[in-house]
Amino acid sequence: MQGFILHTQRVRDEDLIVYILSSKALLKTYRFYGLRHSSILNGYKIDFALEENSTFLPRLKDVLHLGFSWILDREKMLFWQEFIRLLYGHLKEVNELDSFYFDLLDECAKRFSKQNPKRVILDAYVRILEFEGRLHKDFICFACDEKIKGNITLLRAFLPSHDFCAFSYEFPRQKLEIFYEKKNCSIFDDEEISKIYKLIKQGL
């Protein structure tokens, strides 16, 4: 079985509770420190096995780290782990999941080797919002319920607003329409990318 480590929680000295995103679920597992193990770190993709336990969490065993080509690039790893924390915060209350999330992380990990991490994360973020039915393409202000005719002010989770209804970053409507349609943020310049990324860091 393969999965991405979304979160670890230390218990009993060096033992860990490890949350793993597989293609079908967010698994909560237990890893004993006393046994020989591969490195366990948030964001790592691993191949693993589970030993079921009728009275406790399944035991994580036979862990094999499936490395990324950019794993030693500190800056990319920091962006990757930031995105992983964001995703864990969003999915932590869910058990069964569509393969969409696993497949998306798999694709993002491959794109990280050649593309700007912020841009990869932006494209993934908008795809998550659309998949979950939370992408507001109609540009109706969340505060006053009126159609936004000019530039769009975006808040957390790309919630649209008039500039006079909320204080946040403003973006040209046409650029957002293209971004939402193509799920590709190449339409934005670096300054706009930085602003959108700050919104993303607020959460899903």
Using one digit for the tens of pLDDT, what is the confidence trace for 41-98?
Answer: 899 999 999 998 878 899 998 899 998 999 999 999 999 999 999 999 999 999 889 9
Distance CA 135, CA 60 (A): 36
What percent of the chain has pLDDT above 90? Answer: 83
Q: Is the pLDDT of residue 203 over 60?
A: yes
**Encoding tokens for residue 117?**
């991490």
Predicted pLDDT at 38: 60
DSSP state of 187: G
Q: Is the pLDDT of residue 34 over 80?
A: no
Using one digit for the tens of pLDDT, what is the confidence trace for 98-122?
Answer: 999 999 999 999 999 999 999 999 9
Distance CA 125, CA 139 (A): 18
Whose CA is closest to 84, among 116, 50, 44? 44
Predicted pLDDT at 35: 53
> What is the mean predicted confidence (pLDDT) over 184-194?
97
At 154, give phi and psi (nearest 5°): -105, 140
Predicted pLDDT at 13: 73
Helix (H) or strand (E) holding 173: helix 173-182
- pLDDT range class, residue 36, cuts 50, 70, 90: low
DSSP state of 146: P
Structural domains in the chain, CATH included, are: 2-65 (2.40.50.140), 74-201 (1.20.1440.120)
Q: Is the pLDDT of residue 37 over 80?
A: no
- Range with lowest mean pLDDT among 7-11, 53-57, 158-162: 53-57
Average pLDDT value for the chain: 93
State the DSSP string of 65-131.
Answer: E---TTTT-HHHHHHHHHHHHHHHHHHTT--B--THHHHHHHHHHHHTTTS-HHHHHHHHHHHHHHH
Task: Beginning with the edge strand found earlier in the chain, give each strand of the sheet holding 152-154 in spatial order.
Answer: 160-161, 152-154, 169-171
**Encoding tokens for residue 54?**
């009728």
> What is the mean predicted confidence (pLDDT) over 165-177?
96
Distance CA 85, CA 181 (A): 27
Predicted pLDDT at 5: 96
